Structure 1
Amino acid sequence: MDDIYKKIKQLRYEQGMTLKELSEKTELSVSFLSQIERGTSSLAITSLKRIADAFGVKMIHFFEEDDDFHYVMKKEHQRPFKMESSDSTFIKLSGHFPERKLEPFIVKLKPRQKDVELVRHPGEEFFYILQGALIVRVEDEEYHLNEGETIHFPSTVPHMWENPLNQETIIISITTPAIF
């Protein structure tokens, strides 16, 4: 993940863009972008998407070491990363090829970790509980899931999750659309 910060700065220099210009294009503050480029702040996927759009590149640009297509994600390339404002750890599971629709991850939730607000975004979400338990709120419904159970819902409806246990919960999460 450290390479993301370097690639953002490199793209900005290559395109002759100031931090202020990038800020205007992304609606992210100059100070936040400066922290991102120095690697002193975490970066949400939504913020990375804004930055990618501002540079006219796909998000995969920040994660891949070359432009080759690949279908396999070898274990040694499955590196954990964090997203801004989340205590969860994510591990990307998918390869890279044009027109991908799915984004599979392993997600590790800390004991008693809980989202602070409902979110909604385009696409769908699917969770499979590998270890532990998960409470998922989708609109007004609350679903209690244990190991081996799943949930699949449109992510356009307000939703959030919670690990109700005093131990780590691990899930497989598959979302659409693909974001990397």
Structure 2
Amino acid sequence: MEEIFQKIKQLRFEQGMTLKELSEKTDLSVSFLSQIERGTSSLAITSLKKIADAFGVKMIHFFEETGNLNYAVKKQDQKPFKIESSDSTYVRLSNNFIDRKIEPFLVTIKPHQKENEPFKHPGEEFYYVLKGAVLFTIDQTEYYLREGEAIHFPSSLPHIWENPINQETILLSIITPVIFN
């Protein structure tokens, strides 16, 4: 995440933009933007999208390494990040290329962690439990999954998850549409 924060600050300086001007373009507070640039706050994907739009860059700009595109994602290149209002840790498992349709992640959910509000958006979601267990509630129906089990559903349905056990849960997650393009 630190590299993302640095790229935001660098872009702001390159474009001669003040925090106040960036705040006006993104509808994010000056104090929140300052915390992001200092690396003292987490950043939601939706907030990052607003920042990317304000700078006129694609979201992938914040995740790209300089150099040629490599389709492989080596272990040392997998950088964990968090999404605002969630204690889960995400690791992006793909690079960017033209016409990509899926977004794969590893998701780590802390013991007894529960999301607060159901979420819905266009697309599909697929999860495979690599370790632990997870309880999904999709459109008011509960699905308890253990290691080696999977779920695939339209993400337009309200959905929420929780880790009901005393150990962390690790999921392979594949969603559409792509978030980083």
Name the residue aligned to 1:101. Answer: 101
Report how far residue 30 of structure 1 moved: 1.0
Separation in 2, partners of 1:47, 1:11: 15
Aligned twin of 1:13 = 13
For the residue of structure 1 that corresponds to 2:143, the secondary structure is strand
Q: Distance in 2 between matches of 1:57 and 1:68?
A: 18
Contact in 2 for aligned 1:70/1:97 (Cα 8 Å): no
Correspondence for 2:31: 31
SS in 2 for 1:136: strand
- Alpha-carbon distance, 1:69 to partner: 2.3
Deviations 1:136-164 (A, max 9, x none): 11112111111111111111221110001
Q: Which residue of 2 aligns with 1:112?
A: 112
Q: Which residue of 2 aligns with 1:156?
A: 156
Alignment of 1:43-122 (within 5 A): 43-66=43-66, 68-122=68-122
Q: 1:134–1:162: 8 Å Cα contact kept in structure 2?
A: yes
Q: Distance in 1 between matches of 2:26 and 2:135?
A: 33
Identity percentage of aligned residues? 68
Q: Distance in 2 between matches of 1:102 and 1:72?
A: 15
1:84 shift after superposition? 1.5
Contact 1:134 1:145 in 2 (8 A): yes
State the one-letter code of the partner of 2:141: E
Correspondence for 2:127: 127
Q: Look up the equivalent residue of 1:19 and give its one-letter code.
A: L
Q: Which residue identity does 1:47 align to in structure 2?
A: S
Partner Cα distance (1:58, 1:176) in 2 = 17
The one-letter amino acid of 1:155's match is: S
- Aligned AA for 2:132? G
Structure 2: which 5+ runs fail to align?
A: none
Go from structure 1 to structure 2 and tell me whether the alpha carbon gap of 1:68 and 1:98 turns closer, same or farther (over 3 Å shift).
farther
Amino acid at match of 2:13: Y
Counterparts of 1:76 and 1:150, CA distance in 2 = 27
Amino acid at match of 2:147: E
TM-score w.r.t. the length of structure 1 is: 0.95
Q: Which amino acid aligns with 1:33?
A: L
> 1:52, 1:121 → 2: CA distance?
20
Note the aligned Cα RMSD (angstroms). Answer: 1.2
* Change in 2 beyond 3 A, CA 1:50/1:93: same
Describe the SS at the equivalent of 1:76. Answer: helix
